[in-house]
């Protein structure tokens, strides 16, 4: 049944303002974030000298996912990302499940990034700083996607400058030892896969470009260019940083590090850079948080348009041209989580849902025809298999909770379908 009163009050279209540079920067702001500061140590613990092999595994899966997402986004340039692709290519349920996994998983990731900001800025008051960061960045996103892109540009520049300083200090240090880079000498196959699973999430931000498809100019041209550019730049940065950390710490000291890049500059004899690294980590986490809130609110908008979430959340602000109600709700939920959970719990909870989201993206890309610019079939096949494989390298607690959340979403979908099918009197 139509709802004219609601439809009349909801402007339905977002404004296309983003070109290739802005889209690339939003992708970089999502990927080159706090993950590179936090993921190296646990990945080294899992893989030892196979850390770089784990990074290669993560990069291959990310490339497949990025290619599938880019081809789909060019075909369906609307807000919502894989929620839209799954719905259009596989059926309503699969689109819904992808959207549910993304919203729930990435909302938890938002809380983790906010808490990372708090941990670096003021460790004694990490939760309070995290909540303040969420409120501030929600306000930035509310003011319009162009302002968010401008702030992302500044954040990316700062983070790249800090990572460059770490790499130069490490690689030019007398403590650097090329023999520490022996690849895979003490690594197991399962350890490399687990490292790939941990490092994959440092790449996952390229999907943010796709979820902003309705705000990108000429999406059929812009998105397929922006996604691989952002991913390629990120991979180069991560390889340089990983090699730098390994060269001065070695696999064992890197695995034991609580703040690996801070420890790397200390080992390189550049302790004066430690405060700079701390600032860089906080700014990187802010960049990730900014892009995450942006992406979650757009998927919420798309699901609300289809009434999988309350329809009121599909409202677009008449002046700022953003889904303001969705952004405010996402900001409120993230602030609540940031005030109550810990970083490791938030990250573990989000992982399973995110990999499920990308699995649906690859399955959707498999169904594209050559006339729809389908990627080579091996790309979505490897992407789908890689997502499933990496998901089951996660700790069992994460797998159980992630599966439970997806099951809860599926039950909610079934109940809604049953209620909508009930005849009206």
Average pLDDT over residues 154-165: 87
The pLDDT of residue 333 is 93
pLDDT > 80? residue 249 = yes
In this structure, is residue 5 part of a structural domain?
no
The least confident of 179-183, 249-253, 346-350 is 179-183
The pLDDT of residue 1 is 38
C-alpha distances (whole Å) from 76 to each of 15, 83, 208, 299 are: 16, 11, 14, 14
In this structure, is residue 223 part of a structural domain?
yes
**pLDDT per position as a tens digit, 214-228:** 667 777 777 778 888
In this structure, is residue 67 part of a structural domain?
yes
CA 346 to chain centre: 13
The pLDDT of residue 14 is 59
In this structure, is residue 230 part of a structural domain?
yes
pLDDT > 60? residue 343 = yes
Range of the domain at 104: 13-415
The pLDDT of residue 384 is 97
In this structure, is residue 1 part of a structural domain?
no
Q: What's the full length of the chain, in residues?
A: 425
**Residue 18: strand, helix, or coil:** strand
pLDDT > 90? residue 280 = no
The least confident of 77-86, 161-170, 344-353 is 344-353
pLDDT > 70? residue 87 = yes
The pLDDT of residue 208 is 66
Confidence band of 147 (pLDDT split at 50, 70, 90): low
Which is more confident, 253 or 292?
253
**pLDDT per position as a tens digit, 261-274:** 888 999 999 999 98
Which is more confident, 347 or 283?
283
How many domains are contained in the chain?
Answer: 1
Q: What sign for the dihedral angle of Cα 374, 377, 381, 383?
A: negative
**pLDDT per position as a tens digit, 177-227:** 654 556 565 678 888 988 888 888 778 776 666 656 566 777 777 777 888
**Residue 216: strand, helix, or coil:** strand
Average pLDDT over residues 76-98: 87
Which is more confident, 17 or 168?
168
In this structure, is residue 110 part of a structural domain?
yes
**pLDDT per position as a tens digit, 381-409:** 999 999 999 988 877 888 888 899 899 99
Cα 267 to Cα 263: distance, rounded to the nearest angstrom: 6
- In the chain, what percentage of residues exceed pLDDT 70? 85
Average pLDDT over residues 122-141: 88
Q: Take residue 352 and report the two structure tokens written for it.
A: 């399973």
The pLDDT of residue 129 is 92
**pLDDT per position as a tens digit, 310-337:** 889 999 888 878 888 998 999 999 999 9
The pLDDT of residue 5 is 39
Are the C-beta atoms of residues 65 and 313 closer than 8 Å to each other? no
pLDDT > 80? residue 347 = no
Confidence band of 8 (pLDDT split at 50, 70, 90): very low
Q: In angstroms, what is the C-alpha Rg of the chain?
A: 21
pLDDT > 70? residue 137 = yes
The least confident of 141-150, 346-355, 390-399 is 141-150
pLDDT > 70? residue 236 = yes
Specify the CATH number for the domain of residue 188: 1.20.1740.10
**pLDDT per position as a tens digit, 288-315:** 787 788 878 888 888 888 888 888 999 9
Are the C-beta atoms of residues 261 and 37 closer than 8 Å to each other? yes
**pLDDT per position as a tens digit, 26-53:** 777 777 767 787 778 888 888 888 999 9
Are the C-beta atoms of residues 325 and 297 closer than 8 Å to each other? no
Confidence band of 282 (pLDDT split at 50, 70, 90): confident
Q: Take residue 421 and report the two structure tokens written for it.
A: 């099918």
- In the chain, what percentage of residues exceed pLDDT 90? 28
Are the C-beta atoms of residues 354 and 106 closer than 8 Å to each other? yes
Q: Take residue 348 and report the two structure tokens written for it.
A: 């573990």
The pLDDT of residue 329 is 93
In this structure, is residue 258 part of a structural domain?
yes
In this structure, is residue 8 part of a structural domain?
no
In sequence order, the 6+-apart residues with CB closer than 8 A to the CB of 416 are: 308
Q: SS3 for 290-359, per residue?
A: HHHHHHHHHHHHHHHHCCCCCHHHHCCCCCCCCCHHHHHHHHHHHHHHHHHCCHHHHHHHHHHHHHHHHH
Q: What is the mean pLDDT of the chain?
A: 82
């Amino acid at each position: 049944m139509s709802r004219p009163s609601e439809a009349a009050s909801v402007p339905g279209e977002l404004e296309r303002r983003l070109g290739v540079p802005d889209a690339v920067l939003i992708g970089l702001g999502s990927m080159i974030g706090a993950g590179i500061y936090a993921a190296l140590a646990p990945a080294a613990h899992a893989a030892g000298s196979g850390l770089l092999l784990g990074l290669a595994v993560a990069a291959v899966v990310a490339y497949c996912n990025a290619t599938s997402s880019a081809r789909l986004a060019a075909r369906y340039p609307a807000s919502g990302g894989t929620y839209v692709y799954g719905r259009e290519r596989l059926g309503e349920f699969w689109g819904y499940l992808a959207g549910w996994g993304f919203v729930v998983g990435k909302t938890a990731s938002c809380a983790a990034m906010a808490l990372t900001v708090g941990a670096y800025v003021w460790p004694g008051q990490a939760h309070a700083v995290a909540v303040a960061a969420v409120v501030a960045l929600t306000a930035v996103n509310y003011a319009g996607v162009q302002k968010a892109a401008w702030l992302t540009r500044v954040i990316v520049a700062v983070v790249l400058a800090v990572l460059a300083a770490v790499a130069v200090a490490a690689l030019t240090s007398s403590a650097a030892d090329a023999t520490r880079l022996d690849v895979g000498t003490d690594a197991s196959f399962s350890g490399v896969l687990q490292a790939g699973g941990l490092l994959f999430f440092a790449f996952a931000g390229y999907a943010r470009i796709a979820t902003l498809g309705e705000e990108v100019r000429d999406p059929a041209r812009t998105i397929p260019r922006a996604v691989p550019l952002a991913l390629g730049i990120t991979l180069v940065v991560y390889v340089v940083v990983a090699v730098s950390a390994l060269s001065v710490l070695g696999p064992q000291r890197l695995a034991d590090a609580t703040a690996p890049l801070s420890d790397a500059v200390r080992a390189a004899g550049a302790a004066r850079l430690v405060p700079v690294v701390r600032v860089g980590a906080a700014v990187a986490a802010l960049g990730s948080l900014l892009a995450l809130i942006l992406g979650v609110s757009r998927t919420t908008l798309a699901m609300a348009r289809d009434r999988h979430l309350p329809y009121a959340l599909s409202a677009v602000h008449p002046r700022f041209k953003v889904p303001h109600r969705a952004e405010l709700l996402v900001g409120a939920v993230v602030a609540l989580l940031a005030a109550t959970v810990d970083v490791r719990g938030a990250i573990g909870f989000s992982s399973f849902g995110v990999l499920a989201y990308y699995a649906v993206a690859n399955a959707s890309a498999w169904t594209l025809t050559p006339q729809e610019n389908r990627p080579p079939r091996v790309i979505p096949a490897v992407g789908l298999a890689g997502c499933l494989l990496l998901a089951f390298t996660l700790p069992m607690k994460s797998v159980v909770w992630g599966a439970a959340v997806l099951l809860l979403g599926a039950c909610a979908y079934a109940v809604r379908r049953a209620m909508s099918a009930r005849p009206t009197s």
